[in-house]
Amino acid sequence: MRKAHVILSLYALLGGIPAGAQATWNGLRFGMSAKEAKDLLAAKGAVMVAGDSLTLKSESDYLLRLGEDAKGFPLVLTLQFDAIGLKDITLQLDIQRYKNEASFSPSTRDSIATWIFGSIIYDELLTKYGSPIKATGDCKATPIADSELSGCEINWRGDSQMITLDAAYSAPYNAALIEYKRSSDVL
C-alpha cells in the first residue's frame, strides 16, 4: 500500500482560503461530490479510499506541522457525504503513531499525547476564529491521571461552517479530533 504523507501548513489546516460559499478546510468545498474531493486531495498527494457509499477515508495519515512540534501531528482524514455532497470533514489524531514518531517514552500515557495536540490546536483555532460560541471543559488543563475524566469540546462558527475541537484525556477514551461541518447541518 502506497504511503502518501502530506505536510500541511497551519495556513491550510485552518482554512487559509478566501471566504466563499461553503469553502472549508484545505481547498475542499461543502457540497462537492466525492469524486471532486478525491481528485482534489489526490492532486495534493493524498490517497482517499471509500469506506462506504457516503464516506472517504485517507489511506495513510496527513502529517500536520504546528507550533513548536517539529515532528508534526499524524491525522486520519475522513470525509462524509450526503445527497447534497460533502457535509463533514474530520481530522483525528493517530495517537500511537504520534507517540512513536515524536519519540515519547514508552511509558507516556495516551492522555499526554492527546493533551499536547488539543492544547496546541485550541490556541490555533482561537487565533483564527476568536472566542468560541460554546466551550465544555478546558483544553489547556493538564491531565493528572488516566482515571480522571478530562478534556474539552469547543465550538466555533466560521464562514458557512461549524468547527469543533474535541479532545478527551482519560483512558480508555483518549481521542482528539477537529471537525468541520457545514452550517446548514448545525442547529
pLDDT per residue over 104-114, tens digit each? 887 787 888 88
- Distance (Å, whole) CA 52 – CA 178: 21
The residue written with cell numbers 493528572 in the block is: 144
Instruction: Tell me the pLDDT tens digit for each residue of 9-68.
Output: 333 343 433 333 467 888 899 999 999 999 999 998 888 998 888 999 998 888 777 656
150/116: higher pLDDT: 116
Express each pLDDT in 119-158 by its tens digit: 888 998 999 889 999 999 888 877 665 545 578 899 999 8
What's the predicted TM-score (pTM) here? 0.80
Q: Which residue has the cell 485550541?
A: 122
2, 43, 56, 126, 133 from 179: Cα distances, Å: 26, 22, 15, 15, 15
Grid cell digits, residue 91 = 481530522
Task: Quote the pLDDT of residue 21.
Answer: 40
Distance (Å, whole) CA 34 – CA 57: 11
Q: Delimit the domains of the chain by residue range.
A: 7-185
Instruction: Give the contacts of 42 (CB within 8 A, at least 6 positions apart).
Output: 48
Closest CA to 77 of 119, 37, 115: 37
Q: Which helix (H) or strand (E) holds 182?
A: strand 175-182
Give CA–CA dist 74/187, Å, rounded. 31
